[in-house]
Amino acid sequence: MLNPTTFRELVSGQRRGLLAGATRGLLRLGESPYGWAMRLRNRRYDRGRAEVHRVGVPVISVGNLSLGGTGKTPLVEWIARYYGEQGLRVGLVSRGYGAGEDGMNDEALELQLALPGVPHQQNRDRVAAARAVVEQHDSQRIILDDGFQHRRLGRDLDIVLLDATEPFGYEHVFPRGTLREPLAGLARADVVILSRADMLDEEARKEVRRRVLQLAPDAVWCEVVHGASGLVNSAGETLSLDLLSRERVGAFCGIGNPAGFRHTLESLGCELVAWREFPDHYRYTPEDLESLTRWAAEADLVLCTRKDLVKLRDVAMGDVPVWALGIELRFLVGEEALKCKLGAVTGGC
């Protein structure tokens, strides 16, 4: 199985040669039926032939146009806190892909750690999940996590994140590229946010914005960066980022876009002596932990994401401590415009 980085090197064209070219050709054969199916499905909703269900309270969807991580979880946290500051009761709804025996997946565990007072329902039937949050917790606003392609649950605001490392999914629908649906679907977005915007220079960001303006001319435009806020371990202890400049670091992750995590580590000046990637939503086995413990022997400390940490529940690999990098969202462009859109849902701006 290809890891996320190898897959992206292949579909982006970075990998050259006859074998890589032939593989892309095979993937292209799979792209056509998938893209056709998504177009047909969207057309049914656009023309009112597929039923959209409302749950009696406003729904804000946070989603992607492409596969993998675009930084949705920090944005969900930011929106939940924004509404909380307005005195509104917020509920979270998601599909729960890759949930463990406890019925919760890694994003749910991470959000539970970050937003302990916010109810979160995970269910493949997201309409049922949203109704449950409203009925059981009297929630006044629903945040639908990873909801852009889930059109059965009606929403009042569609927010789409584009990752700076691959904002348009290498121009192809999966499996030939990383798009979840054809680019034309971006026209449904009310807000488009370029995440990890610091990975592009100003001219490149303007070019992405010009392209988005063609696809979604009425959407609000925002740019955000994901800055490290500190270190935390599974015991809830915290440390300053200053520690990283003095230690040899081993890092691993099981997320959709490892390049973003690695970029953040490198921006902190880490001496990265070891690196490993696992598939998105990966469930670590005892054998994996034994392997990681041997792998980490050369490092002074091990870093992962909070999404990985909540599945490990260990503070060390052998003698090497394990810490997660805390991430906070910071706006470069569009914060007030987004607040205005969120306020409009509540009858404000």
Residue-wise DSSP of 30-45: HHHHHHHHHHHHHHHH
Closest CA to 323 of 300, 289, 298: 300
Q: How many CA atoms, within 13 angstroms, populate the side-chain half-sphere of residue 50?
A: 12
- Establish whether the linkage from the previous residue to 175 is cis, with ω within 30° of 0: yes
Closest CA to 321 of 262, 234, 230: 234
The β-bridge relationship of strands 248-253 and 238-239 is: unpaired
Highest-confidence range of 116-120, 247-251, 336-340, by mean pLDDT? Answer: 336-340
What digits encode the pLDDT tens for the residues 46-100? Answer: 999 999 999 999 999 999 999 877 788 899 999 999 999 999 999 999 987 655 5
Quick check: 244 and 215 in contact, CB under 8 A? Answer: no
Amino acid in the structure at residue 323: W
Closest CA to 311 of 265, 244, 252: 252
Q: How many CA atoms, within 13 angstroms, populate the side-chain half-sphere of residue 168?
A: 16
Please give the structure tokens belonging to residue 203. 């001219």
Backbone angles phi, psi at 31, to 5 degrees: -65, -40
- C-alpha span between 3 and 79 (Å, rounded): 31
Per-residue pLDDT for 103 more than 60? no
- Please name the residue that has the structure tokens 């998601």: 94
Please give the structure tokens belonging to residue 157. 């605001």
DSSP classification of residue 322: E
What's the CATH fold of domain 59-226+330-345?
Answer: Rossmann fold (3.40.50)
Helix residue ranges, H only, the chain: 4-11, 18-46, 72-85, 106-114, 126-137, 202-215, 258-267, 286-295, 306-312, 335-345
| CATH 3.40.50.300 location in the chain | 59-226+330-345
What digits encode the pLDDT tens for the residues 144-203? Answer: 999 999 999 999 999 999 999 899 999 999 999 999 999 999 999 999 999 999 989 999
For residues 68 and 344, which has the higher predicted lDDT (pLDDT)? 344
Quick check: 107 and 57 in contact, CB under 8 A? Answer: no
Quick check: 249 and 300 in contact, CB under 8 A? Answer: yes
- C-alpha span between 57 and 130 (Å, rounded): 9
**Which of 54-58, 89-93, 281-285, 328-332 has the weakest average pLDDT?**
281-285
Residue range 237-259: average pLDDT? 87
pLDDT, position 132: 96
**Which of 33-42, 59-68, 222-231, 262-271 has the weakest average pLDDT?**
262-271
Please give the structure tokens belonging to residue 328. 């906070």
Burial of 251 (0-12, 13-18, 19+ CB in 10 A): buried
**Domain range 227-327, its CATH number among 3.40.50, 2.160.20, 1.10.10, 1.20.1270:** 3.40.50
Q: To 10 degrees, the CA torsion angle through 115, 121, 123, 128?
A: -140
Classified as helix, coil or strand, 218 is coil
pTM of the entire predicted model: 0.85
